[in-house]
Amino acid sequence: MDKYLLIPLLPLIAFTINIIFGKGIIKERAHWIAILAVLGSFAIAVSTLIEVLNGKTINYDVYSWIVSGSFKVTVGFLIDQLTAIMLIVVTSVSLLVHIYSVGYMHGDKGYYRFFAYLSLFTFSMLMLVMGNNLLQLYFGWEAVGLCSYFLIGFWYEKKSASDAGKKAFIVNRFGDFGFGIGVIMIFLTLGALHYTDIFAKVGTLQGQTINILGYNIDLITLIALLLFCGAVGKSAQIPLHVWLPDAMEGPTPVSALIHAATMVTAGVFMVARFNPIFSLSETAMNVVALTGAITSLFAATIALVQNDIKRIVAYSTVSQLGYMFLACGVGAYGAGVFHLYTHAYFKALLFLGAGSVMHAMAGELDIQKMGGLKKHMPVTYWTFLIASLSIAGIPGLAGFFSKDEILWLAYNHGTIGKIVWLMGTAVAALTAFYSFRIIFMAFHGKFRGTHEQEHHLHESPKAMTIPLIILAIGAISAGWVGIPAALGGSNAIAHFFEPVLGHPHVTAAHEEEFMVMSISIVAAIGGIFVSWIFYSLKPEIPKTLAAKFKGIYTTLWNKYYVDELYGFIIVRPTKWIASNILVAVTDGKIIEGIVNGVPQAIRNFGERLRKLQTGHLQHYAVSMAIGLFVILTLVLIAAGR
Amino acid sequence: MVPLDWYIGLSAVIFVIGVVGFIIRRNILIMLMSVELMLNSVNISLVAFSHYLQDLRGQIFVFFIITVAAAEAAIGLAILVALFKNKAAVHTDEITEMKG
Amino acid sequence: MLPNLFFGYFAIVMVVLSLLIITRRNPVHSVLWMLVLFFHIAGLYLFLNAEFLAAVQVILYAGAILVLFLFVIMMLNLKEEITAERFIGEWPIGVALGISIIMLVYFALSKFIQGPVGQYTIEAINKETHTKTIGRVLYTEYLFPFEIASLILLIAIVGAIVLAKKRG
Amino acid sequence: MMNIPFPDLRPVTPEIIMTISATVLLILELIFKNKGVLAFIAVATAAVVLYTIPSSHGQTFGGMFISDTYSTYFKLIFMINLVLTILISLRYIQREKAEYGEYYSLLLFATSGMMLMASAKDLIILYLGLELMALSTYILAGIKRHDIKSNEAAIKYFLLGAFSSALLLYGISLIYGMTTTTDIYKIAASLQNSSTPSLPLLLSMILIAAAFLFKIAAAPFHMWAPDVYEGAPTSITAFMSVGPKAAGFAVIGRVFYIAFQSIQTDWTAILIGVAILTMAVGNILALVQTNIKRMLAYSSIAHAGYMLIGIIPGTQESMSAMMVYMLIYAFMNIGAFAIVILLEKGEELSDYEGLSKSRPLVAALMLIFMFSLTGIPPTAGFIGKFNLFMAAIKAGYTWLVVIAVMFSAMSAYYYLRVVMNMYMKEMKEEAAITPSPSLGLAILITVLMVFVIGIMPSVVIG
């Protein structure tokens, strides 16, 4: 069998086995199947990466499902440099999260179901990144969304969890709607669904416009923005970011895998994959860059004041995703994907560390009730610290290289680039600050929780700490493939990506690069320092500041009131229309009015029609005779004329 | 010689009488007889065609139709007997358990 | 002229008998009128040089099928049957439908053109006798349908046993 | 004495094996107390017949019988139908106390009838095959003879069936009078010369069409179907909803395309009207049902409507799309009935409430069949519909396809209501099931085929 096919197939097989036999035969052994499958995928992914490193790219159709003219629905794989890296990210993080879950989900009554869903998610994500055509991308896109919905609402008895699942699903609908239209438009204008065909033909669209409501809109810009809509939804960018923090209601391994390392980065992957389209439209690029920069800054400021450990990390994810889009928007797709890759490790590590803390604290999430955890759970502490240093951008760690690459390339990208560079640097300082706020509040100082909790504090089991350690190694070293020339490296990853993603040509001198680098290092260290003063040295300062700048504080605390805003401008009017206008129209039957109105009308008709079926034999015979009579009359009249 | 059209007309009239009988009678037995009437009208026309077309196929067909009619009557009456054992009903409007 | 008169008699009697069959209140009367009708049909077959079929008509229809009907009628409660409603409520619709259909059929069949003439002329059949000709054709050309017909009779027996026989 | 050569029996070998086995079963029924043996023999017969079908191509009996790729394909469907029906019947007829040995014999006879219909080149064979099938099915529908519903189903099916075959005979007699032949191909040749369609020809075509449309349960000749499907034993309902329908389509294809080629525009117009009406009636009335067998009956009416869309354009592609649809329909429909049989109490829609809680696997299987019947990818039902509609669009019947798609969307409402009942409603009581190895095998085969065809359509297309 084809080895590339095995990569997604193994998790699918694991899913099938677990979902069918999980409840009866397998039960608590469900993780073995899932872990072995994803381990196999990982091994093949590594060997594939080696092949790609040796200059091989794979692009073929595995299977043609439906072929009808130019409408070809196929399953095919395109494995180039971009996909190879994504495969490593997805399979390695997934593998570690699987192992971690053995400890974390131990004793849960849906144990087998959880592993089945994880496998299904891994399969969908692999299909998404490996696809060589748009429909497969779309399939993977929807499938990961569905898995995310299942996993967020995994503890469906908990109302907040099932609500969060629904919210994620509905918010993503908005983005996917645009994405779907984008896919259809590509097929209609280019008549192709395979990437290679699309990219070969996309040049012909240049300069074409489409008339919408009297405005002439550049076709490529429109397509690019429609695709970006999908990315905004999936990668939780403004204004569709609201679902991601709520998604933390799901089990923590899910947050680490889906809502930090893999699924949410699908938007970045998609923009990078479609770089030949995006690069043709400057408007679209600017929109991407600004959306990314604004989201990044916006989410970072919210993260400053939150107290829920998972929420802080979630906003940090939104912020870092903004970074990646920022990179794509300035044409530095390679840097964006590089950041995606390093981010996967340190962010997964942060989530899993948070999960480990939660495990010890019996589900407590509020960092104000923690403190001094360092001595109780050293492994968690040290790995969490490494991740924080990495995300803060301390030189030598993974986060530093990727973040620096983005900032440097942004700096060199004209006016827009300078603006987003400034914002990015500010975000770097804020990131360092809020990351270390967790470190100082949760791990240092005195324990502030209940006695019972203190008594219960312990380091997590091996199944959980070993993935932490492995991820910590990743958080340190993942960036070493991208040491820039200015620091004596070769920036191997940028050259690796160049055939697929291109590389912006930068002529500026190394001195200038050192300057940019120093500024971000200063920002990072400054952030950490301020955090140390605020939360370790003089803990009263934050309270005074919060009291002094009450307006800003509450705004940030309430996440800029975005949820409330949506509640005000979307949910409330909808409800108002529903309860006032529709009730008036439909006599208090809102749901019947909208959803069941037409079916109800048909049903009523059916009920009447049903009366004709009297059960009386003669009536059936009469109906046959009438049918015969009518047909005879019509045909004979038509022929007799 | 009698024109072929006369036979066709006779057969058509008896056929339609059979149809009407089938449609309007409540008694299942009479409905069955009406079906026999329809089959016989077909037989008449087939034999007439056979005669006028100087071809035996029609008569052979009639032979088979009579065979099938016998089988049909046997099975139909058997079903009726089975029904009658459960519910003493021979009228179609009494067997409307299933409808809608 | 004489054949036409002969046909006219048969035609009128057969139509009247048919009408009687479908309108009689007592099923026994219907069966008896049907018996008369079958004899007339047999007569018509003779008239059309189909002696064998005429015999089969009498033996099978009159002798077997109608007797079967009579057996079943014996199960009915005839007293109640005679007082019960004969027709369904909507019978005028049925009759109107019948009249319309016969008009349409008449309209269509008025343009009837018969097909090409075959090889079995009356003389040819008479030379070999009708029964023998039929038998020969049936066992050679129509052997296959003949076998199928035998299967149909077999399942009729099976069906009657399955449905009507008393079993534990 | 004339010397008559013995007819070539090779083309009819499958039918001969089938009928001999059916007859032998009647005798064995007296010997074996365990009726499972009979079922096994019946399945083995089907396997042997399936093996002999491909090598049986040719004509025989003076060209009355033809075995070609067309008939082969339909015979394949009949065999699938037969085997699956036997598998789902075994335990069920025990449970329903209708375990007569004749049951299997009659199934084989009915299937022989269908095979004869698919292979008939002569209208006499067609008629006799149809009667062989119909008479066996009447008995099977009424085989639960102590059950009033079964009696009622049988009597309704029988009377209306006899009525429709009388219509068929009248049509055939007129055709015979016009052409002096009953051979389908010779009829075509004889009618080729006339430039304008004659009224008697149209009349006979309509009468024949009415009888065939009755067999496939197309409106307005469909009204027997819901009552008969509801009343008949469920295994027989599954059998009837596929076999006679496929046989009906087989003869429609052959008789209309060949014998009535000269009046194609006329019968196409009729079939378009009938198809639309059939889809409308089937889908609208299925919406309001509370009995699942009845709902599936209306759904089968609706599916007949879709399949008529394959007949209408008359292209090679659309015909084969119709045949593929029939095959797919056989799997998904019998699969759904198998689940109905599996449940001890499964005839009412309310019996499915909360099934996912008490019997998650059964619920999941039912969900797959409902998805497939709706036509949701990646199930076979989607492939069937896609293929059928594409063929019709290519032949220029886009507007008809639009109507069909609308009705098909409507069908989601009632199929998914079963799913809703299973997954969204609270469980009332633990659902009892009567599993058996054979029933499990039938469900396994159907669900596998639903997925295999859905994922690899090339196994059936092309």
- CB contact residues (below 8 A), chain C span 98-137, against chain B: 98, 101-102, 105-106, 109, 112, 114-122, 125, 133-134, 137
Strand-pairing partners, residue A60, are A77
Arithmetic mean of pLDDT, D205-228: 93
Residues of chain D contacting A640 with CB distance shorter than 8 Å: 199
Q: A292 with A236: CB under 8 angstroms?
A: no
Residues of chain D contacting B36 with CB distance shorter than 8 Å: none
Q: Where are the domains of chain B?
A: 4-94
pLDDT tens-digit map of A50-76? 888 888 888 888 887 877 767 778 888
Instruction: Return the DSSP state at A107.
Output: T
Query: Is the Cβ pair A632, C104 closer than 8 Å?
Result: yes
Q: How far apart are CA B63 and CA B68, in angstroms?
A: 9
CA distance to partner chain A, nearest, from residue C99 (Å): 11
Token look-up 């409007």 returns B93
Give yes or no for residue D250 having a pLDDT over 90: yes
CA distance to partner chain D, nearest, from residue C116 (Å): 6
Contact of D198 with chain C, judged by CB distance below 8 Å, is answered with: yes
Q: Identify the residue among B38, B93, B94 best suited for mutation to test binding to A, counting A beta carbons within 10 A and taking the highest.
A: B93
CA distance to partner chain A, nearest, from residue C5 (Å): 33
pLDDT number for residue D128: 96
Contact residues for C36 (Cβ-Cβ < 8 A; gap 6+) = C17
Q: Identify the residue among B8, B36, B62, B65 best suited for mutation to test binding to D, counting D beta carbons within 10 A and taking the highest.
A: B65
Residues of chain A contacting B22 with CB distance shorter than 8 Å: 621
Contact residues for C3 (Cβ-Cβ < 8 A; gap 6+) = B1, B2, C47
Residues of chain B contacting D226 with CB distance shorter than 8 Å: 98, 100
Q: How far apart are CA D125 and CA D182, in angstroms?
A: 9
Residues of chain A contacting D214 with CB distance shorter than 8 Å: 624
Query: Is the Cβ pair D155, B80 closer than 8 Å?
Result: yes
Rg over CA atoms, chain A? 28
Query: Is the Cβ pair D221, A627 closer than 8 Å?
Result: yes
**Terminal C-alpha separation, chain A:** 67
Q: In chain B, whose CA is at the least distance from the CA of A610?
A: B100
What b/e string do you get for C22-57 counting C-beta neighbours within 10 Å, with b at 16 or more? bbbeebbebbbbbbebbbbbbbbbebbbbbbbbebb
What single letter denotes the amino acid at residue A521? I
CA distance to partner chain B, nearest, from residue D322 (Å): 29
- Rounded to 10°, the helix B57-86/B28-53 angle is 180
| 3-state SS class at D170 | helix
Distance of CA A22 to CAs A8, A117, A122, Å? 20, 12, 18
**pLDDT confidence tier of residue A591, bands split at 50, 70 and 90:** very low
Partner chains of A (3+ C-beta pairs under 8 Å): B, C, D
pLDDT tens-digit map of A425-462? 888 888 888 888 888 888 887 777 777 777 777 888 88
Q: Which of A286, A281, A171 is nearest to A237 (CA)?
A: A171
Q: In chain C, whose CA is at the least distance from the CA of A617?
A: C88
Q: A460 with A353: CB under 8 angstroms?
A: no
Neighbours of D299 (CB within 10 A): 27
Q: How far apart are CA A455 and CA A263, in angstroms?
A: 37
Arithmetic mean of pLDDT, D144-173: 93
Q: B12 with C106: CB under 8 angstroms?
A: yes
Token look-up 């399945």 returns D43
For residues D397 and A606, which has the higher predicted lDDT (pLDDT)? D397
Residues of chain A contacting D163 with CB distance shorter than 8 Å: 621, 624
Contact of D289 with chain B, judged by CB distance below 8 Å, is answered with: yes
| pLDDT mean across residues, chain D | 91
Its domain, for residue D295, covers 10-459
Distance of CA A436 to CAs A82, A430, A431, Å? 32, 10, 8
For residues A124 and C126, which has the higher predicted lDDT (pLDDT)? A124
Query: Is the Cβ pair D163, B22 closer than 8 Å?
Result: yes
**pLDDT confidence tier of residue C145, bands split at 50, 70 and 90:** very high
**Terminal C-alpha separation, chain C:** 64
Q: How far apart are CA A122 and CA A91, in angstroms?
A: 8
- CB contact residues (below 8 A), chain B span 7-66, against chain A: 19, 22-24, 26, 31
Query: Is the Cβ pair B66, C60 closer than 8 Å?
Result: yes
Q: How far apart are CA D19 and CA D13, in angstroms?
A: 10
Query: Is the Cβ pair C3, B1 closer than 8 Å?
Result: yes
Q: Is residue D228 part of a domain?
A: yes
Q: How far apart are CA A128 and CA A125, in angstroms?
A: 5
Contact of C27 with chain B, judged by CB distance below 8 Å, is answered with: yes
Q: Is residue D423 part of a domain?
A: yes
Q: Is residue D160 part of a domain?
A: yes
pLDDT tens-digit map of B1-49? 788 999 999 999 999 999 999 999 988 999 999 999 999 999 999 999 9
Contacts by D419-424 with C-beta closer than 8 Å and gap 24+? D419/D366, D419/D367, D419/D370, D419/D371, D421/D349, D421/D350, D421/D352, D421/D353, D421/D354, D421/D355, D422/D352, D422/D353, D422/D354, D422/D355, D422/D356, D422/D363, D422/D366, D422/D367, D423/D356, D423/D363, D423/D367
Partner chains of B (3+ C-beta pairs under 8 Å): A, C, D
Partner chains of D (3+ C-beta pairs under 8 Å): A, B, C
DSSP state string for A465-502: HHHHHHHHHHHHHGGGGG--GGGT---HHHHHHHHHH-
- CB contact residues (below 8 A), chain A span 609-628, against chain C: 616, 618-619, 622, 625-626, 628
Contact residues for D59 (Cβ-Cβ < 8 A; gap 6+) = D11, D65, D66, D67, D121
Q: Is residue D69 part of a domain?
A: yes
**pLDDT confidence tier of residue A9, bands split at 50, 70 and 90:** confident
Residues of chain A contacting D210 with CB distance shorter than 8 Å: 624, 627-628, 631
The number of domains in chain D is 1
Arithmetic mean of pLDDT, C68-94: 82
Q: In chain A, whose CA is at the least distance from the CA of B99?
A: A615
Arithmetic mean of pLDDT, D348-364: 87
Query: Is the Cβ pair A632, C90 closer than 8 Å?
Result: no
Which of A518-522, D229-233, D375-379 has the highest average model confidence (pLDDT)?
D229-233
Q: A606 with B7: CB under 8 angstroms?
A: no
Q: Identify the residue among C22, C100, C109, C112 best suited for mutation to test binding to A, counting A beta carbons within 10 A and taking the highest.
A: C100
Distance of CA D107 to CAs A585, B38, D136, D251, D428, Å? 56, 29, 7, 20, 37
- CB contact residues (below 8 A), chain B span 21-50, against chain C: 21, 23-27, 29-30, 32-34, 36-37, 40, 43-44, 47-50
Give yes or no for residue A163 having a pLDDT over 50: yes
SS3 string, A305-367, reads HCCEHHHHHHHHHHHHHHHHHHHHHCCCHHHHHHHHHHHHHHHHHHHHHHHHHHHHCCCCCEH
D160, D163, D285 ranked by CB distance to A610: nearest: D285
- What's the fold here for domain B4-94? Helix Hairpins (1.10.287)
User: Based on the number of CB atoms within 10 Å of its own CB, is A518 exposed (0-12), middle (13-18) or buried (19 or more)?
Assistant: exposed
Q: Is residue D369 part of a domain?
A: yes
Query: Is the Cβ pair B99, A615 closer than 8 Å?
Result: yes
Strand-pairing partners, residue D35, are none
pLDDT number for residue A584: 57
Q: In chain C, whose CA is at the least distance from the CA of B94?
A: C88
Q: Is residue D99 part of a domain?
A: yes
Q: C70 with A598: CB under 8 angstroms?
A: no
pLDDT tens-digit map of A164-223? 777 788 788 888 888 888 888 888 888 888 888 888 888 887 777 777 777 788 888 888
Residue-range domains of chain C with CATH: 1-86 (1.20.120.1200), 120-168 (no CATH)
Per mean pLDDT, which range of B58-62, D438-442, D458-462 is the poorest?
D458-462
pLDDT tens-digit map of B42-97? 999 999 999 999 998 999 999 999 999 999 999 999 999 888 888 877 888 888 88
B26, B32, B81 ranked by CB distance to C87: nearest: B26
Q: Is residue D21 part of a domain?
A: yes
